[in-house]
């Protein structure tokens, strides 16, 4: 092993996650740790929990980050609220929705899927028809589907689920911290996210929230939750109440989250959402000017955090991505499953969702495409983005 100090390369994380980290967050991670039962740990945790509530748009007392990545948050929500033998209805139009359905199956539930093309959102009428017909115990959907770039509105899903008495689980991994969620207004009961996308923090924590209605349901659950580490009743005893030892929380990650949330508060939550919207719109205008097509046809259901752009005919997406990485240290993502080789996934989240960063990315992307067989009109993308910035007078 090399004995010199660790020296990772400089990258620009414009992919689907992890996103770029604020230097203030790195500085927080270098601070001395305290114990996982130290009052200071619970104090900074309470600070974070208050900001998480505002980002989720909820008054839920049970809003906190657990020691896990986003998938651990997903597993926690599914394992605690989807009982063996129950019916779990999942809106499956993407990779992460498939994962949620798979977790439901592993909990022994009867999973009913509603498949749709990757890149389309569900209409109010069709989710209503599906949920009223299936009458599930739990409905799961992905609010921000990172594999396709689709934003799924929660309102009609939640209204129909409540009509049949179902609990609602929402994946907010790529919306939290960068797009409004309005959890209480829409009626979502249970939601999870991660630290490394819209929050611009390293991966390792999963902020989740549970409504009083869902907590009540959990209290009355007869069967034992099939996972020990992710048992929310045990986690509640550690994070709240008696602070009984459950696991050794990764203290430095909780410092990081606290600091990332504090930078968000400094900026202002509404201002941060607007910044993400403005940079997304500028980016989309640039793609159009470059003759490129977005994978999500309907502009009203595009994520602001993650832009999916169709790979032009004859271009090898992997070569474009390798070019960007080798020449500029820029990371962007490719597609999965049915979209493998067909789309680029370009994240504009947190620290890198700014005008200078978009104007740094666009010429590099143009060059990488040109070197790989697709010549967009020179400078047209950046010019179109600049025009949007002038119009929005934002960021």
Ligand X SMILES: *Cc1c(COP(=O)(O)O)cnc(C)c1O
Where along the sequence are the contacts to ligand X (CB under 6 A)?
A: 17, 69-71, 74, 96, 142, 144-146, 171, 173-174, 194, 203
State the nearest-atom distance from the C-beta of 70 to ligand X, in Å. 2
CA separation for the pair 26, 36 (Å, rounded): 20
By beta-carbon proximity to ligand X, the closer residue of 199 and 218 is 199
By beta-carbon proximity to ligand X, the closer residue of 150 and 282 is 150
State the nearest-atom distance from the C-beta of 89 to ligand X, in Å. 18
State the nearest-atom distance from the C-beta of 146 to ligand X, in Å. 3
Which run of H or E residues covers position 186?
Answer: helix 183-186
By beta-carbon proximity to ligand X, the closer residue of 147 and 372 is 147
By beta-carbon proximity to ligand X, the closer residue of 17 and 177 is 17
> What are the tokens at 195?
């630290």
Question: Three-state DSSP class for 358?
Answer: helix
Judge contact between 202 and 180, C-beta under 8 A. Answer: no
By beta-carbon proximity to ligand X, the closer residue of 156 and 303 is 303
Distance, first Cα to last Cα, the chain:
45
State the nearest-atom distance from the C-beta of 65 to ligand X, in Å. 12
> How far is C-alpha 22 from the chain's CA centre?
18
CA separation for the pair 330, 169 (Å, rounded): 34
18 cis-preceded (ω within 30 degrees of 0)? yes
State the nearest-atom distance from the C-beta of 71 to ligand X, in Å. 3
> What are the tokens at 87?
């019916």
CA separation for the pair 395, 382 (Å, rounded): 16
State the nearest-atom distance from the C-beta of 74 to ligand X, in Å. 6
By beta-carbon proximity to ligand X, the closer residue of 96 and 374 is 96
By beta-carbon proximity to ligand X, the closer residue of 142 and 281 is 142
Question: Three-state DSSP class for 198?
Answer: coil
By beta-carbon proximity to ligand X, the closer residue of 142 and 385 is 142
By beta-carbon proximity to ligand X, the closer residue of 18 and 312 is 18
Read off φ and ψ for residue 180, nearest 5 degrees.
-65, 140
User: Helices (DSSP H) in 290-354: which residue ranges?
Assistant: 317-328
CA separation for the pair 145, 133 (Å, rounded): 24
> 96 in the Ramachandran plot: left (φ > 0), alpha (ψ -120 to 50) or beta?
alpha
Q: Which residue is nearest to ligand X (CB)?
A: 70
CA separation for the pair 389, 385 (Å, rounded): 6
Q: What is the CA radius of gyration of the chain?
A: 21
State the nearest-atom distance from the C-beta of 16 to ligand X, in Å. 6
Pairing between β-strand 205-210 and β-strand 167-171 as defined by DSSP bridges: unpaired
């Amino acid at each position: 092993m090399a004995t010199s100090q660790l020296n990772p390369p400089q990258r620009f994380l414009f992919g689907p996650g992890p996103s770029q980290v604020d230097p203030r967050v790195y500085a927080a991670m270098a601070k001395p740790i305290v114990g996982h039962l130290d009052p200071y740990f619970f104090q900074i945790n309470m600070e974070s929990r208050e900001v998480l509530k505002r980002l989720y748009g909820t008054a839920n007392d049970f809003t906190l980050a657990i020691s896990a990545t986003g998938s651990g948050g997903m597993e926690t929500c599914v394992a605690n609220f989807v009982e063996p033998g129950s019916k779990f209805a999942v809106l499956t139009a993407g990779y992460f929705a498939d994962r949620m359905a798979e977790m439901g199956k592993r909990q022994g539930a009867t999973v009913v899927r509603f498949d749709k093309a990757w890149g389309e959102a569900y209409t109010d009428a069709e989710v209503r028809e599906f949920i009223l017909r299936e009458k599930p115990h739990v409905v799961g959907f992905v609010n921000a589907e990172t594999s396709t770039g689709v934003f799924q509105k929660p309102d009609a899903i939640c209204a129909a689920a409540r009509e049949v008495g179902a609990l609602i689980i929402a994946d907010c991994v790529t919306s939290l911290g960068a797009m409004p969620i309005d959890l209480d207004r829409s009626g979502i009961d249970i939601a999870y996210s991660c630290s490394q996308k819209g929050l611009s923090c390293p991966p390792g924590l999963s902020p989740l929230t549970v409504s009083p209605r869902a907590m009540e349901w959990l209290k009355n659950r007869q069967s034992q939750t099939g996972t020990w580490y992710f048992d929310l009743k045990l986690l509640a005893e550690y994070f709240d109440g008696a602070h009984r030892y459950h696991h050794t929380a990764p203290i430095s990650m909780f410092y990081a989250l606290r600091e990332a949330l504090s930078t968000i508060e400094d900026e202002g939550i509404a201002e941060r959402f607007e910044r993400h919207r403005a940079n997304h719109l500028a980016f989309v205008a640039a793609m159009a000017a470059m003759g490129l097509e977005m994978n999500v046809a309907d502009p009203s259901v595009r994520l602001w955090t993650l832009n999916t752009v169709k790979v032009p005919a004859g271009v090898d997406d992997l070569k474009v991505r390798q070019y960007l990485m080798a020449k500029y240290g820029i990371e962007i993502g490719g597609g999965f499953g049915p979209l493998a080789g067909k789309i680029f996934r370009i994240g504009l989240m947190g620290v890198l969702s700014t005008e200078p960063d978009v104007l740094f990315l666009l010429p590099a992307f143009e060059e990488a495409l040109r070197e790989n067989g697709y010549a967009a009109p020179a400078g047209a993308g950046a010019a179109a983005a600049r025009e949007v910035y002038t119009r929005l007078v934002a960021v």
